[in-house]
Amino acid sequence: MSSRYSLIPTKEGYNFTTDSGLTYCLYFTSYYLKDSNGDDIKVMSFGFYHEPHKISNRKYDGKIKNTILHAILEFFQRNPEIGLLFFCDTCDGYGRHRKITFNKWHKEANAPIEKFDCHETYNKEGFYTSILVRSDSPLKDYYVSAFYATIDEFFPDIDQSVTSYVAILQ
């Protein structure tokens, strides 16, 4: 991975400041999914934001991507069996854009981490989330199944169910 910014550890994760003066806050928090039996499964959730929130004349800065990917890869080095959720914030109307960017970053990372997205049906409702799991995690199928089961529980009226994922596993 090419150049990146220096990460400053915080209570929640990390901060870093870009060459243009933006301060990024990366955070990891606990989150609970439900498995098919209704039992809670603890995973982690990852997110980030920058301050100031609104900027004009934004220029592409590849070091931001490299820094964020480094933090995620470091998380999986320390926590090889834990699933990591990522929710794309939609409050500013850019949730879909974040999903596209995150998909691109995942492909470019070329790491042994698999990404499972919520179904397109949910995207149409403005909900964009994914779970990341190491390819070699013995709990991968369990986390992914719980991810889809939890989404189905939150959106019971949308015709999409965990059975579509279970069929993929078989």
For residue 54, what pLDDT is reported?
72
Query: How many separate domains does the chain show?
Result: 1
End-to-end CA distance of the chain: 35
Taking residue 102's Cβ as centre, other Cβ atoms within 10 Å add up to: 19
Instruction: Establish if 28 belongs to a structural domain.
Output: yes
> Does a structural domain hold residue 2?
no
Among 83, 78, 81, CA closest to 137: 81
Q: Do the domain assignments include residue 3?
A: no
Q: Say what the pLDDT of residue 92 is.
A: 63
pLDDT (0 to 100) of residue 60? 84
Q: Tokens representing 41?
A: 């499964």
* Averaged pLDDT, groups of 10, the chain, 170 residues long: 89 94 92 91 90 76 93 94 83 70 86 86 66 95 92 69 41
pTM assigned to the model = 0.82
Q: Output the pLDDT for position 51.
A: 84
pLDDT for the residue 167: 38
Domain that holds residue 91: 8-169
